[in-house]
Amino acid sequence: MSVSSLFVLIILGVVAAFYFSRTRSLNLARGLGGIKNLHSLPVYYGIQAALWCALPCILLLCVWTIFDDAIIRSMVVQYLPAEQQNLPKAEQALLLSSIENLANGVNLSNAGQFQDIADRINSLRSISNMALTVLLFCAIIATGAWGWFKVKPQYRARNGVERVFMLSLLGCSTLAIFTTVGIVFSVLFESIRFFNIVPVHEFVLGTQWSPQLSIREDQVGSSGAFGAVPLFTGTLLISTIAMIVAVPTGLMTAIYLSEYASSRVRLVVKPLLEILAGIPTVVYGFFAALTIAPMIKSGLHGLGFDLAFLGVSFGPLEVSGESALAAGLVMGVMIIPFVSSLSDDVINAVPQSLRDGAYGLGSTQSETMKNVIFPAALPGIVGAILLAVSRAIGETMIVVMAVGTAARLTFNPLESVTTVTVQMTTLLIGDHEFDSAKTLAAFALGLVLFIITLGLNFFALRIVKKYREQYD
């Protein structure tokens, strides 16, 4: 039987175990004079039996389906001719997978001479499947029956069920830890492999980035150049532009909304600004690339600076169609609501007594803001800005769509630069051999990105938390 029909079988068994155990507990209770004589409610006896049936059987099914291919494979190796048995591991694996394809009825490569082995795989598979079916059938009946027999008036079914329930809740909450561990491992291992090919100092300090230059497959070590400094400067440039837009606007918005605006204005303006945070980044990217970039190009092109008294004169401005300015501006607009809502929280957390004190001494609202509230809220605001910076650094779609892929070491916002995230996507789209320096480089960049954003978040959260405690 197929895995899905076996699964249905298990479910049927579980339902039966539930029903019969519950009925049995009810019958027992009737004999004793009502369910008050049972330790737990009948439904718990049912659930208890169902769990006893479900957990072992599902485990069996999973373990079997995960391992049976590997076991069959190791059994098949001995049928291979002697010369194939002595092949290196990788080639043998390739051969085996082509034989398996043959067994599945797909003859992609010239594995025709192994038809007999393919047949053998098929027969082994059907044996394994039969064994699984029989075993599972027995297991369902055995575990179900066991659960049924355990139903006794004194039996503490509820406690058992609640323990399983609690453990599953715990399991769900630890998923967050597993995710982090998964991220760290997936990024770290590939990065270590990358740093075996390209030395760390070359990656961190090199100023040449051209990963596409590989000429031959076996030339991994010497292919291209992996100096990531242009990517870092590009990311920094775009994030700086974004921050120049987002921080003053977001901060002033927060100040106005929390100190000046009437509650009605607040009620209207705040959700309207939050819209900016809800728009998908792909839309911003589209907007940056097709509307803002051409606007900047046509608006600034031909504008020249002639600062003759400084002895400097620039000719007509060269504006790239993929300028860092366009991406940075749009990214800044995207981050405005982020900065404003975070700083709004911080400003509102400053106690009213500080304001009243300042007003009592005769300061105007803006003076109170500038001299009292702002300094008091500064740590929190810094935290908010750090979070915004980490957002800008990790932002992908806007830069992928609006910025080029050529790595240039420049701080001119009108030129095209590239960022860490852009390079990660260009390196990984399409090509998925995990052994070329090119794809591994993406993971190394991911590691850098992860470390930087994690560090920023960690500090920001600590600052915000510490500051909040001050006034609580």
The residues in 217-276 that bind other proteins, with binding defined as CB under 8 A, are 248-253, 255-257, 260, 269, 272-273, 275-276
Least Cβ distance, residue 285 to other proteins (angstroms): 8
Among residues 31 and 430, whose Cβ is nearest to other proteins? 430
Is the alpha carbon torsion for 323, 325, 329, 332 positive or negative? positive
Q: Rule CB under 8 A: is residue 173 a binding residue for other proteins?
A: yes
Q: Rule CB under 8 A: is residue 370 a binding residue for other proteins?
A: yes
Of 424, 437, 441, 463, the one binding other proteins by CB under 8 A: 424
Residue 85's nearest CA partner among 95, 99, 71 is 95
Instruction: Considering only the stretches 70-78, 302-310, 348-356, 364-372, report the one whose residues sit in contact with other proteins under the rule CB under 8 A.
Output: 364-372
Q: How many CB atoms lie within 10 A of CB 278?
A: 8
Instruction: Considering only the stretches 103-111, 167-175, 193-201, 218-226, report the one whose residues sit in contact with other proteins under the rule CB under 8 A.
Output: 167-175
Q: Rule CB under 8 A: is residue 45 a binding residue for other proteins?
A: no
Instruction: Check: CB of residue 172 under 8 Å from CB of residue 44.
Output: no
Residue 304's nearest CA partner among 293, 323, 321, 318 is 318
What is the distance between the alpha carbons of residues 78 and 76, in angstroms, rounded to a whole number?
5
How many residues bind other proteins (CB under 8 A)? The answer is 89
Binding mask 270-309 for other proteins (x = CB under 8 A): --xx-xx-xxxxxx-xxx-xxx------------------
What is the distance between the alpha carbons of residues 8 and 120, in angstroms, rounded to a whole number?
29
Of 85, 348, 364, 470, the one binding other proteins by CB under 8 A: 364
Instruction: Check: CB of residue 150 under 8 Å from CB of residue 48.
Output: yes
What is the distance between the alpha carbons of residues 214 and 286, in angstroms, rounded to a whole number?
32
Residue reference for tokens 């373990």: 63
Q: Rule CB under 8 A: is residue 381 a binding residue for other proteins?
A: no
Q: Rule CB under 8 A: is residue 457 a binding residue for other proteins?
A: yes
Q: Rule CB under 8 A: is residue 359 a binding residue for other proteins?
A: no
Instruction: Considering only the stretches 74-82, 149-157, 219-227, 367-375, report the one whose residues sit in contact with other proteins under the rule CB under 8 A.
Output: 367-375
Of 123, 367, 378, 466, the one binding other proteins by CB under 8 A: 367
Q: Rule CB under 8 A: is residue 106 a binding residue for other proteins?
A: no
Instruction: Considering only the stretches 24-32, 82-90, 149-157, 430-438, report the one whose residues sit in contact with other proteins under the rule CB under 8 A.
Output: 430-438
What is the distance between the alpha carbons of residues 282 and 401, in angstroms, rounded to a whole number?
8
Least Cβ distance, residue 306 to other proteins (angstroms): 30
Of 147, 337, 383, 413, the one binding other proteins by CB under 8 A: 337
Instruction: Considering only the stretches 53-61, 105-113, 171-179, 209-217, report the one whose residues sit in contact with other proteins under the rule CB under 8 A.
Output: 171-179
Least Cβ distance, residue 172 to other proteins (angstroms): 4
Of 117, 296, 342, 387, the one binding other proteins by CB under 8 A: 387
SS3 183: helix
Least Cβ distance, residue 446 to other proteins (angstroms): 5
Contacts 24+ apart (CB under 8 A), 80-85: 80/117
Distances, alpha carbon 200 to alpha carbons 211, 226, 426, 427, in Å: 16, 10, 21, 19
DSSP string for residues in 370-435: IIIIHHHHHHHHHHHHHHHHHHHHH--HHHHHHS-S-------TTS----HHHHHHHHHSS---TT
Residue 284's nearest CA partner among 391, 178, 192 is 391
Among residues 140 and 334, whose Cβ is nearest to other proteins? 334
Binding mask 397-416 for other proteins (x = CB under 8 A): x--xx---------------
Please give the structure tokens belonging to residue 27. Answer: 């019958």
Among residues 85 and 291, whose Cβ is nearest to other proteins? 291
Please give the structure tokens belonging to residue 194. Answer: 């990358």
Of 108, 170, 307, 308, the one binding other proteins by CB under 8 A: 170
Among residues 136 and 381, whose Cβ is nearest to other proteins? 381
Least Cβ distance, residue 183 to other proteins (angstroms): 5
Instruction: Check: CB of residue 202 under 8 Å from CB of residue 224.
Output: no
What is the distance between the alpha carbons of residues 331 and 243, in angstroms, rounded to a whole number?
9
Among residues 201 and 462, whose Cβ is nearest to other proteins? 462
What one-letter code names the amino acid at 353?
Answer: S
Looking at residues 121 to 140 of the shown chain, list those that interact with other proteins (rule: CB under 8 A): none
Q: Rule CB under 8 A: is residue 453 a binding residue for other proteins?
A: yes
Instruction: Check: CB of residue 239 under 8 Å from CB of residue 393.
Output: yes
What is the distance between the alpha carbons of residues 37 and 41, in angstroms, rounded to a whole number?
10
Q: Rule CB under 8 A: is residue 98 a binding residue for other proteins?
A: no
Q: Rule CB under 8 A: is residue 177 a binding residue for other proteins?
A: yes
